[in-house]
Amino acid sequence: MVEPVTAVLTGIALVTKSVDFIKKNISTCQDIGELISHVDDALNGQQQAIKEREKKGADPFETDTKKIAQEVISVKLAQEKLYEMKMLIDARFSHGTWAFILEERKRRIDAKKKAIKIAKAKAQKKQEEMVDMIRNIALVIGGFIFIGLCVFLVYILFTTKGLAHPVEDEKSCVLYRPKYFLLCLNEGRERADNQLYLDYKLQKDNWIIEKD
């Protein structure tokens, strides 16, 4: 049997080449599977011829009669060649074989389109899940940043306004030695002054203070 068509052909050329191959080899062919690739090529060639005639962007005011005639003739020839192929196949493998081939081909094309559609849907879903995950991570990070800012603000407010004495008194606490400085911060300047006074009197005047 002649080797399958390997040249890159399109349109009516592909239809003609495929039909010629089947005409030469159908008498020795034992299984339709040996010809199915050429049937597929012929059908694809016909679709290419039709698309060439109806392609988008074609000038609706085309005046080149030769070009218009060529496109119309190509589609017509493709139809005739396919009809010839149909008669050859039905005669060789019984009536209805051609219709079965067309039905099976359509089923496979539809299955392929469905598979592509499902794959695109899965890819889109995966992309949406990725976007959602990134958004959730961003929200969590943003939440931590917000909490951190809140804690920082509370700390600032506490250290500047939450002391036992006004802000201006906080500065005066610096004048005290460490012992009275901490007392000033925790209990106020008045308490620190009293303790400082008592300690001073205890040291200078030898006050006797009973301790528990």
- The tokens 């400085």 sit on which residue? 181
- Is the residue at 23 inside a domain? yes
Whether 24 is covered by a domain: the verdict is yes
The answer to whether position 34 is within a domain reads yes
pLDDT in tens, 63-81: 566 777 777 888 888 888 8
In tens, the pLDDT along 171-191 reads 566 566 666 777 777 777 778
pLDDT score recorded for residue 62: 55
- Amino acid code (one letter) for 25: N
91 and 167 share a domain? no
User: Which whole-number Å values give the CA distances from 148 to 23, 26, 32, in the listed order?
Assistant: 82, 81, 75
Task: Take residue 195 and report the two structure tokens written for it.
Answer: 């303790």
Whether residue 194 lies inside any domain: the answer is: yes
Output the six-digit token pair for 59.
Answer: 């000038």
Same domain, 15 and 91: yes
Instruction: Tell me which of 95, 110, 131 is where a domain ends.
Output: 95
Structural domain includes residue 195: yes
How far is 75 from 81, CA to CA, in rounded Å? 10
- Residue pair 19/84 in contact (Cβ under 8 Å)? The answer is yes
pLDDT computed for residue 78 by the predictor = 86
Q: Are 39 and 103 spatial neighbours (Cβ–Cβ below 8 Å)?
A: no
State the amino acid at position 171 in one-letter form: K
Let me know if residue 124 belongs to a domain. no
- Whether pTM > 0.75 for this model: the answer is no
Q: Which residues of the chain have pLDDT under 50?
A: 1-7, 160-170, 208, 210-212
Whether 106 is in a domain gets the answer no
Query: Does residue 46 sit within a domain?
Result: yes
- How many folded domains does the chain comprise? 2
Question: Domain of 197?
Answer: 163-204
Cβ-contact 174, 192 below 8 angstroms: no
